[in-house]
Amino acid sequence: NAGVTQTPKFQVLKTGQSMTLQCAQDMNHEYMSWYRQDPGMGLRLIHYSVGAGITDQGEVPNGYNVSRSTTEDFPLRLLSAAPSQTSVYFCASSYGDSRHSPLHFGNGTRLTVT
Amino acid sequence: GNSVTQMEGPVTLSEEAFLTINCTYTATGYPSLFWYVQYPGEGLQLLLKATKADDKGSNKGFEATYRKETTSFHLEKGSVQVSDSAVYFCALWGPGGQNFVFGPGTRLSVLP
């Protein structure tokens, strides 16, 4: 049982480059989300999805795009990378109501933008 | 809006010491409260939760009680082990909301 799989684990980009962080889950979870983790700031929600075809913005959506064409996949796109996007990115999923169904996290992608 | 405050640490303890990590929250209504743990190189995983006032969540020797009167959810363990070294996050899920609010995390190091 793979759970939530994120790729790549590490990435270095130059300012202005674009890339996609991949996230896949094999638990048939309806809810998926992307967080960024920065020192002293906890986790901040970037975008989330409550099901295929439905996405919405979180706390810090600027500079990122998402889509949800299937239940399993929820890629995060950086349109034009900036040094402020240097962070650790986590994808998470749950059955739906996360008060009762815990969030399952991937192991993260460490992104550096120079 | 909803928010979570927790001691940032780092916290360094000797094995078998008593642990307390403080967490307080601000929220409208009655949120659900959680502790997540992040071991080195891994994502977060749920440690325990409480969904209403006076509930006590417990797991792996850790406990936390939902205190509405003090808006707190402090994490405790009577005797820590080296394997408990990790970052601990307090979080809430607010009523009417669709997402978690996480605290900044507390790094715990347990020395043998």
Residue-wise pLDDT for B13-34, tens only, equals 999 999 999 999 998 888 899 9
The reported pLDDT for the residue numbered B96 is 63
pLDDT at B88 over 90: yes
| Lookup result for tokens 């998402």 | A66
Quick one: CA torsion of A19, A39, A73, A17, rounded to 10 degrees?
A: 0
Using DSSP bridges, classify how beta strands A31-37 and A87-94 pair: parallel, antiparallel or unpaired.
antiparallel
Q: Read off the tokens for A57.
A: 């913005």
Burial class (CB in 10 A: 0-12, 13-18, 19+), B29: exposed
**Residue B98: band (very low, low, confident or very high) from pLDDT cuts 50, 70, 90:** low
Residue window 16-75, chain B: list those with CB within 8 Å of chain A.
Answer: 32, 34, 36, 41-46, 49, 51
Query: Which residue numbers in chain A have pLDDT < 70?
Result: 1, 97-99
The answer to whether B75 and B90 are in contact (CB under 8 A) is yes
Contact A41 B104 (CB under 8 A): yes
Alpha-carbon distance of B97 to B93, in angstroms, equals 7
A40: chain B residues, CB-CB within 8 Å: 8, 104
